[in-house]
Amino acid sequence: MWTKESRARYERRGLRYPSDLTDEEWSLLSSLIPPARRGGRKRTVDVRAVIDGLLYVLETGCPWRHLPKDFPPKSTVHGYFDLWAWDGTLERMHDTLYVALREAEGREPQPSAAILDSQSAKSAQKGGRRLTRLAMTPARRRAA
């Protein structure tokens, strides 16, 4: 239930978009951003604006080409998304924010229980990961 305290905590009125990072959220995530690669040009893009653009696309569900012009170019935001998904940066960001949220709510950082339904248990017994691993049918060999 919404209370005055909870409304104040989740208020995002001072931000450009509701999906933008607050200064407190940015302070948690800024240390997780990998440094620019060695050699080549210096990084000129504002990484916080890249994350804000990424969060805008994820929250609104809009296509990359509809990213508003006040964010970095869509190719830049998407490029960082691909890179950070590949190197695990996005997962570390998620885990950091998840733990911070649980601690802010006065809960343990890690959940102490899990819920499994019968469908989850059945697919785990059959080795569900192996059955869906191949996305394409292997090519057939020609008879000699």
Q: Amino acid letter at 104? A: A
Q: For residue 137, tell me if it sits in a domain.
A: no
- Contact of 77 with 64, CB cutoff 8 Å: yes
Q: 60 lies in which domain range? A: 17-25+45-107
Q: For residue 55, tell me if it sits in a domain.
A: yes
Length of the chain: 144
pLDDT in tens, 39-93: 888 889 999 999 999 999 999 999 999 999 999 999 999 999 999 999 999 999 9
Q: How far apart are the first and last CA of the chain?
A: 71
Q: For residue 94, tell me if it sits in a domain.
A: yes
Q: For residue 89, tell me if it sits in a domain.
A: yes
- The total domain count for the chain is 1
Percent of the chain surpassing pLDDT 70:
79
Give, as one character, the DSSP assignment of residue 127.
Answer: T
The model's confidence at residue 140, banded by pLDDT at 50, 70 and 90, is: low
pTM for this entry: 0.69
10 Å CB burial of residue 37 (0-12, 13-18, 19+) is exposed
Q: For residue 133, tell me if it sits in a domain.
A: no
- Rounded distance, CA 71 to CA 54, Å? 9
Determine the 3-state secondary structure of 67 from DSSP: coil
Q: For residue 92, tell me if it sits in a domain.
A: yes
The model's confidence at residue 32, banded by pLDDT at 50, 70 and 90, is: very high
